[in-house]
Amino acid sequence: MPSVIFHVSGKKFRPEAELAKISLKPYRIHHVGDVVKRKGGDFVFKDSGFSVDIGPKNNNDLAAQIKVAVKFIKKHFTEIKRIKKADDMCLSFGYCMRFDKTGEPFWVQSNNLPSEFLKKCGELKIGIDLEFYYVFTVDKLISHYVRIFKLKHPKKRVDPWLKKNLEK
């Protein structure tokens, strides 16, 4: 599930050396040339870096994520300032559409990134990525309208390639 991720990377960046100077605990460290095997094709890193999941765990609500990110920047401001040779630092917010307790979507949604938070991110040269997780939203919308209109839940789509290869 989505949460806020702090990414740091660079072509000449040495993640282990930089992490030795700070207290952040990454869930992933990568280096130039590392390969990630993916179903749709391999991905090769063109830089080195690390990623830290700062939370909140399994919470795709942008407002909750903003609160966590504000606390993270306040707490680690001086440590982050010590990171050198990073070409890119960003906070990546993974969020979804919000729904009320009955499953009804809030059709207009807004969130505020506090100016003091943005100012501190600017001083640290940290970008902000807003990543909308569409698939989670669609699943919830389908469930909502199936219930409201008393429809049959759509059949799960089976990948034709997968079906063909499972039959072998």
* pLDDT for position 161: 60
> pLDDT tens-digit profile of 32-61?
999 998 888 899 999 999 999 999 887 778
* pLDDT for position 156: 63
Averaged over successive runs of 10 residues, the pLDDT of the chain (168 residues) comes to: 89 96 96 90 94 86 91 97 95 85 80 95 96 71 69 62 56
65: its two tokens: 């994520």
* pLDDT for position 140: 67
Fill in the DSSP letter of residue 111: -
Write the CB contacts of 113 (distance below 8 Å, at least 6 apart in sequence): 66, 128
What phi and psi, each to the nearest 5 degrees, are found at residue 19?
A: -65, -25
Q: Which of 47, 34, 39 is nearest to 7 (CA)?
A: 47
Query: Structure pTM?
Result: 0.78
Indicate the angle between helix axes 62-81 and 115-124, nearest 10 degrees: 40
Number of folded domains that form the chain: 1
* pLDDT for position 52: 97
* pLDDT for position 99: 79
Domain of residue 56, residue span: 4-166
* pLDDT for position 165: 55
